[in-house]
């Protein structure tokens, strides 16, 4: 954590949705970083070893989507928590890297903030969404 604040990287190709997600992260009391695709997210993760959680969209342009990104992060940075969201795909959390959470869009800010708080406090059980 950075100066007592968890650091959350928001990965979303839609600028408007990304701005909303960054506002949500900041309102929840965390430091927010942002990336427009998986490649930029990986560059940021390589430069910032203090990232605690990645909140990513599933469908994104570029070399990998959010699912591939989450698997890559889990392999390379296993301590980073992962939240994935999609407006079109419905994913079973069992198909994602261990410990990941999935939310369908539109999600509520409260649900995401609550999941972040639980994940960042290292709680392992989550209520159904």
Tens of pLDDT, residue by residue over 18-59, are: 999 999 999 999 999 999 999 999 999 999 999 999 999 999
Structural domain includes residue 73: yes
**The domain that contains 51 carries what CATH number?**
3.40.50.2300
pLDDT at 127: 40
Give the pLDDT band of residue 125 (cuts 50, 70, 90).
very low
Structural domain includes residue 128: no
Structural domain includes residue 112: yes
Structural domain includes residue 59: yes
Structural domain includes residue 2: no
Q: To the nearest whole percent, how much of the chain has pLDDT over 90?
A: 79
Only one residue has tokens 């390589």, namely 46
Q: pLDDT for 62-84, tens place per residue?
A: 899 999 999 999 999 999 999 99
Nearest to 44 by CA among 56, 61, 27: 56
Q: Look up the domain containing 72 and give its range.
A: 7-120
Structural domain includes residue 126: no
Give the pLDDT band of residue 88 (cuts 50, 70, 90).
confident
Structural domain includes residue 72: yes
Q: Is the pLDDT of residue 12 over 50?
A: yes
Structural domain includes residue 125: no
Confidence (pTM): 0.90
Q: What share of the chain is helix, strand, coil (3-state, %, to 5)?
A: 40, 20, 40
| Total domains, the chain | 1
pLDDT at 116: 97
């Amino acid at each position: 954590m950075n100066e007592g604040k968890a650091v959350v990287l928001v990965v979303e190709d839609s600028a408007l949705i990304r701005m909303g997600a960054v506002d949500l992260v900041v309102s929840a009391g965390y430091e927010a970083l942002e990336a427009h695709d998986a490649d930029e997210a990986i560059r940021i993760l390589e430069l910032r070893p203090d990232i605690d959680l990645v909140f990513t969209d599933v469908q994104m342009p570029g070399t990998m989507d959010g699912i591939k990104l989450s698997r890559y992060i889990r392999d390379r940075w296993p301590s980073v928590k992962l939240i994935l969201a999609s407006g079109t795909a419905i994913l079973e959390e069992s198909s994602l890297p261990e410990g990941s959470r999935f939310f369908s869009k539109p999600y509520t800010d409260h649900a995401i903030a609550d999941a972040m708080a639980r994940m960042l406090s290292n709680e392992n059980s989550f209520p159904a969404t």
